[in-house]
Structure 1
């Protein structure tokens, strides 16, 4: 917010400034000082530097496991060196994480804190896995990777909130498993479940099949409930939403399509900020196109094709599992959401919404 006091002509000599003028002058000085402080902060670009373990899964040497190196994260770039003494020399590797795919591989009970990256390079999409030692280290590096994938650095105001959100999710998992090594607080007393409690109504069948017994699952549900029962209804809903948003591939919608000149069907995922071509056998990402790099898109209603023009290439495909109008509405709707301001009092631009979802993207 900026306040500017404008005067059409110099203030006449004579009367002393009244209280309103003095308060406006003081406000202007305070805002100028705050702006100067913000500019000073931006000159100091945040940086992460630490020893981490890494692995390139698709390389022949991957069977040897993780290697240790010194990593530096600055702006949108990740670099790594043999040791910290080599920081001023050429790095062993250097990546821009803008547009990359970031997914967690975490098991708090096993002390496993890994970050899976799928980085766009000249050779195509490159797999890269970072292994952190602690929850705190994981939260900071994971938050930096997520922001960089969206084209934002750690100087962005959302970085601290991203770190805290990741820590809160880890804390929930830690409490659910009965292990919270970073906290000395006592665990909440378990909740007594009703006698007719049916675990099948609360837990996915794939977890029911893996569990030792339904009694063990009921105990985990009771423990998890104990950790949130002190929250208000609104706080519980917000915590649920944050945990849901932190899940891998959150908000991804899948469609089977056939690309132009393609011989077989492909799987694509439409997310809030990107379009992803995926492997139909294992769900791995093959290529990512960011909406931020999109110039325009067009729907050919006669042949039911979508043509999308990006900065570096054009793609065209025909949806097979749904009407092209559905895919078009997802793309246009997500772009509309990214253009919305965080201000709650922002007026809904219905004309823009219908333009983006109605077929004239």
Structure 2
């Protein structure tokens, strides 16, 4: 008679293919060991863990986090084998919702309870619902930067050593992609918070600034080196019970008190916050600031963010859709604040006259903030959305209905034409800037230059013909010097050809500037928006024109700190006359209500030549030096890294595809005319990829009132996977 022997482990368990899985419970600061098999699904692991703990509490917001792999195990139906979890793994059982310290565009800090397990894009969506900000797709999180970051490109930053620290059985993986220490809390727990207060936001003070950590810059990637990820679905660890108790998370703003708090920001910020503001000195440093953006396709936990860490919430894409004063008071205020700080920190450049105009509008905003405002009824002041789709729709409307501008009786067979004497100059190397007078005509998206008016009437051949479609139009206006210039950068086979045009009067400049702007977008003088474009340019110039007598007494404003109204490089020029110059400019805007003052500030900001261009330092294939690549809402620009001149422009409506080789981080963009290949030096290639895909996504938004945000399409365009 034969006998069979059964092998057993040292702990008395039979050898059956099972093994011991260690799980650290962050709330309780304890570790549990579970005997499991590889075919056990994640939901079963959590169920057995909760049964083993035998503690009566709500575990529905908890999930498993794998520190060594920097990954959430949220697919509850997947098995341990499918995730690759083996006996040497240590998992964390931790809440998905944790406290995040957020700096808003107005520089204020608040604590919010957010989901650390979902994609960053979804975290921003949920946070914007709490804040009462529509169109969250325009915003994103970025990590705080130090001045040190502006001195180096991403690849030149020194990475930290790969070190793991252990505390009470809890492993914290080192952030291998950054140079900044990542000191994270061992517990990382939020479940002890009262759920009634879970969604409350609290301004940052010394008492509640618990464990405010330094946040690393670049996002860690998976060990495979790829950005491809599977769509996670929540099963056992769903937050349905959490949302049932806190329905405000995914619906209306938190409360009226918070909404009122965010509509208006403090007049000034503390010296401590002001001292940490970055002031880029050149275009290269501006480009390096874009290293801080988080990857929208990864969770914030996967990007080295831990509880009580700080992230900045900023408008990432400069394409503000349906900005309505009636319902967007918080959104308008945050856009205004971001514009203000961009100007004060010299992240975007402007002239002296423009700086004084911005300061005057800021004074008016501060004065109106202390005055009760009536409900906003004029919906006609919302900012227009300019994109290629709108241009096509407008052109179709004009072709069907005719133009609303005409000289005399309406005649749809007559093509509008603009004619006048202007001065022309085409810069060449080693030549003086001498302008020559020509007779200009603008018709059918073309400028034609003749030596005299008679040559045009006699059908003589033009001296120059300039095609305006696709060109870059930049104002060169200095009111104090009486200079009204238009700078054109016209596409050609050699790149962008620079052309300068000078007008004699303000009215002449407004007409020709409006014509050039519309023609660059493919619109003729018959376009229905031509007159409004002219009026907008004229109004913008009027805001910059100082009035001799100030509207208010300087003493009534108290102590004005110049740094809060004027960028440092301008403040030095005025010395003791700065306040008086600001008040002289304020006379132009003294009658504007609060929301109108902010909207005018935003419109003026959008009129600046450098507005809406996100810069990156890149190296084009075959070149041995770095160049700048500018990403805007409708185009990509190759730029000189010293002067900012546009060497070549490609518009999105000529783009066929864009691809990334994730192994070597090379990006290829295919246009109708050519293909370009480059490597991003100042940031991860994923950031630049997301900017292009994001702008294309924003251009697809519909004007339907009940539109829903197509998250799947956003990730398809920005995520970088097939």
Which runs of 5 or more residues in structure 1 are unaligned? 1-33, 180-186
TM-score calculated relative to the size of structure 2 = 0.42
After superposition, the CA RMSD in angstroms is 2.3
Counterpart in the other structure of 1:249: 610
Cα deviation for residue 324 of structure 1 reads: 0.9
Which runs of 5 or more residues in structure 2 are unaligned? 1-397, 404-409
Instruction: State the distance in 1 between where 2:531 and 2:721 align.
Output: 38
Instruction: State the distance in 1 between where 2:472 and 2:638 align.
Output: 12
Counterpart in the other structure of 2:562: 199
Instruction: State the distance in 1 between where 2:570 and 2:649 align.
Output: 31
Counterpart in the other structure of 1:331: 692
Instruction: Specify the SS of the correspondent of 2:486.
Output: strand
Q: C-alpha deviations, 1:236-259, integer Å up to 9, x for none? A: 111111101100121011100111
C-alpha spacing 1:333/1:161, structure 2 compared with 1 (3 Å): farther
1:45 to 411, 415, 439: 415
Matched, 1:189 2:551: yes
* Greater Rg by CA: 2
Cα deviation for residue 35 of structure 1 reads: 9.0
Counterpart in the other structure of 1:316: 677
Instruction: State the distance in 2 between where 1:178 and 1:149 align.
Output: 34
Instruction: Specify the SS of the correspondent of 1:264.
Output: coil
Instruction: State the distance in 1 between where 2:611 and 2:433 align.
Output: 32
Q: C-alpha deviations, 1:271-297, integer Å up to 9, x for none? A: 111111111121111111111211111
Contact kept, 8 Å, 1:190 with 1:223, in 2: the verdict is: no
What aligned pairs does 1:49-64 form with structure 2 within 5 A after superposition?
49-58=419-428, 62-63=431-432
Contact kept, 8 Å, 1:297 with 1:308, in 2: the verdict is: yes
Instruction: State the distance in 2 between where 1:203 and 1:122 align.
Output: 42
Matched, 1:99 2:477: no
C-alpha spacing 1:153/1:273, structure 2 compared with 1 (3 Å): same
Q: C-alpha deviations, 1:208-245, integer Å up to 9, x for none? A: 1222x1x3111122223333232122211111111011
1:274 to 635, 646, 649: 635
Contact kept, 8 Å, 1:113 with 1:132, in 2: the verdict is: yes
Cα deviation for residue 303 of structure 1 reads: 1.5
Q: How many residues get paired? A: 316
Q: C-alpha deviations, 1:102-133, integer Å up to 9, x for none? A: 11110112211000111112343211111001
Instruction: State the distance in 2 between where 1:50 and 1:159 align.
Output: 17
Higher relative contact order (CA 8 A, sep 6+): 2
Contact kept, 8 Å, 1:191 with 1:223, in 2: the verdict is: no
Q: Quick check: 118-127 or 160-169, which moved more?
A: 118-127
1:141 to 500, 508, 512: 512
C-alpha spacing 1:152/1:35, structure 2 compared with 1 (3 Å): closer
Structure showing the higher strand proportion among its residues: 1
1:111 to 466, 471, 482: 482
Instruction: State the distance in 2 between where 1:66 and 1:344 align.
Output: 50
Instruction: State the distance in 1 between where 2:568 and 2:674 align.
Output: 42
C-alpha spacing 1:255/1:242, structure 2 compared with 1 (3 Å): same
